[in-house]
Amino acid sequence: MEFDLWYLVALPALFAAGWLCRGFDRRQRSEKTQLPEHFTRGVALLLDDEPDKAIDVLVEACRLDPDLIELHHMLGKLFRRRGEFERAIRLHLHLVNRSDLSDADRTKALSELAEDYFAAGLFDRAEAEYRKLSEVPSEHLGALRRLLTIYTIEHEWESAIDTVRAVEAQTGEDHRLETAHFYCERIEVALRSKRLEEASKLVAEVLPYADVTPRVDHLAGKVALAAGSVEEAAEHWRRLARNFPAHTPLVIGELADAMAALGQKDEAIELLRSALPEHPTADALEAVIARVTEWRGLPEAEAIAAKMLAAHPSLSAFNALVRLRAKANPEDEQTKLLSGLLQRHAQRFARYQCTHCGFLASNFAWHCLGCGSWDSFPPRRVEDSKGKSR
């Protein structure tokens, strides 16, 4: 069992301070003279890597002297650290409900209790405690930050927007990126639920954040398209490509489709062709090949894939080429077999990686489940990212 050394250093110091403050009446409290022994034994057991026994001894020390509030807190932290959330919660609940506690000690106990609930994943209860703490001036900002984390985990985007704005107002910090993504999350929810009017309204609110993240124009285009405004959708995606060129592969296919729907198929083909030299990624290639195959036929798509493979050799480009050849020669069993093998192999490498924590995702994501960062995935697969910075 691994323990941080700070427990071993802090515990004796806290105890010594508490013990000195007890005054000179200790001789009259014969039972409590056992405390040093309990305490020394507890620390010795921690040093011997026997945390279970150490906890038993420290629990006894707390029982003997309930006034040593800090020792209670240390014990509570120890429980939490070991994943014994129930014991930590019980201990801190007991402290919170004690009538003899000072306001400062009660606030500290409340704060520890909120941490227990948070660490245990009991977010509803943690939220309730942090809301109470947000009423205490000294705890206000810390509680707001914790609430923001909880709202993000719980996908309570409206509350997240209100809270992040309060944090911004009080600290002067810039949280525009998070704010934009919280709005985008609300738009995605509205789109999934076919609440188009609500989605359009939210787009109007988030558009001032279009310079912060490409997701705003990406989504604004989707909402415009769903509302039947193809031209407006194309305009959003064009603006995304202008402001965030690296993210072009994410919208190139949709943009080409919109242009085709507007009767500009030739221009769309030209756009797709010209995108590849600048964005030689697997996603861009897939988007281009799918449309060129449909609009111009297999030989032209095959020529594009072959050119891409020659200029930027990669497994995905080879896979695309073989897949097209298998399609063009359905009677060729060997090519079909090779295509299937390559496809399975290529899928294993079709991952996107968070630049902050290295978390790998099978689909492009705006939010990292590993570290909670926003916009931390480059808009290309790991295979395409080799040797490139964002």
Residue 99 CB, nearest approach to Zn ion (Å): 46
Residue 158 CB, nearest approach to Zn ion (Å): 25
Residue 39 CB, nearest approach to Zn ion (Å): 42
Closer to Zn ion by Cβ: residue 318 or 352: 352
Q: Which residues bind Zn ion (CB under 5 A)?
A: 354, 356-357, 359, 368, 370-371, 373
Closer to Zn ion by Cβ: residue 318 or 377: 377
Closer to Zn ion by Cβ: residue 64 or 365: 365
Q: How far is CA 15 from CA 77, 170, 274, 309, in A?
A: 15, 37, 71, 69
* CB contact set of 235 (below 8 Å; sequence gap of 6+): 221
Cβ(289)–Cβ(320) below 8 Å: yes
- Side-chain-side CA neighbours of 168 within 13 Å: the count stands at 12
Closer to Zn ion by Cβ: residue 304 or 354: 354
> What is the DSSP secondary-structure string of 13-67?
HHHHHHHHTT-SGGGG-GGGGGHHHHHHHHHHHHHTT-HHHHHHHHHHHHHH-TT
Closer to Zn ion by Cβ: residue 222 or 247: 247
- Side-chain-side CA neighbours of 95 within 13 Å: the count stands at 32
Within 10 Å of residue 85's Cβ, how many Cβ atoms? Answer: 17
Binding residues: 354, 357, 368, 371
Pairwise CA distance, residues 64 & 94, whole Å: 16
Residue 246 CB, nearest approach to Zn ion (Å): 18
Residue 378 CB, nearest approach to Zn ion (Å): 12
Q: Where are the beta strands (DSSP E) in 197-355?
A: 352-353
Closer to Zn ion by Cβ: residue 213 or 316: 213
Residue 319 CB, nearest approach to Zn ion (Å): 27
Residue 362 CB, nearest approach to Zn ion (Å): 15
Closer to Zn ion by Cβ: residue 11 or 354: 354
Binding residues for Fe cation: 354, 357, 368, 371
Cβ(250)–Cβ(364) below 8 Å: yes
Which amino acid does the sequence have at 383?
E
Cβ(74)–Cβ(14) below 8 Å: yes
Q: Which helix (DSSP H) or strand (DSSP E) does residue 115 occupy?
A: helix 103-119
Cβ(54)–Cβ(45) below 8 Å: yes
